[in-house]
Structure 1
């Protein structure tokens, strides 16, 4: 177990999409996916520069226009969501205060003098757990048990609160790009080992988890453990 309360870093936050402009805004794009007899309603959360987040929101509107119709409920809801996302994208502006709030939720300080590594562990773990569209109690309990072994200051209540707010989290890949700049090499390794341990806790890593871990290792610029890279 390791004291992870402070890890120093020297870089500023950049947009996870273009990786050039600074963070300037956030947006949440609701969507519906029709599947004949069933449908799925969800949200995608974005944080980045205005230009990139606008593209993401408008792209989500376009995707909904293509594949959001294939059930009766989706047929009724989709027009409203498409219009909402189109208007949101067109009129998107800088929201520096919202960026600050989002970074705080993610456990990433604005000034990057120190970071809360455990909070970052919470965030990426929840993002990975929800990646398949489901948040199951068994996965949550597994993440808690492993987190208590890895992080000295792991707080189950804080972790559960973030689980409840999981729809507000950006995609795992986007988070990893942000966190790459917020963590030193040791911090990246600790967080990755936590995620890998969660993925392997049931004795095997399924294909989607494996692909996600490989992508995270690439983004975080760390060596991929052999057991993760094995097909």
Structure 2
């Protein structure tokens, strides 16, 4: 039997939006897939990762795809790639872990990030593929897969209309959470393509 799957777009450090959206959709769908970019831009990246840590222990219910911002955060923590991380909005993430920044901010950050958050970042997957549904972070992140792909859902590209761009074969569901003025966080259902959205404060918005 095909599971009913909800796919959640780019969160970008907005814990209020993620909390509000999960409250609406967690009980509604059999499985939730998140497209990545959990950190940067918004002010609560540490809180977002903690929310995901608390749910990652149930792989039957949650699948977490890696976004480029998440991979940059991991590279910053593991291989001194601080400058690139700062160039793509990492300062907000650092402040969510280190309120009072000192000269050696990378040392402070590494000391402040809990081991559970680091394990989560290392565990993020490249894609999700089930029953014809392919979920990746970006539109070009299409891996070789054995079974046919009927529908491709991805984030990464902010939709200035603030609603997912849905065609017969794909959906772009980054609706500007923490990145666009009045941005929203969206969840797209598969196979119904029903959309659920919240605003930056986590309040439901009718798309």
TM bucket by the smaller chain? under 0.3
The structure number with the bigger radius of gyration is 1
Structure whose residues are more often helix by fraction: 1
TM-score (norm 1): 0.24
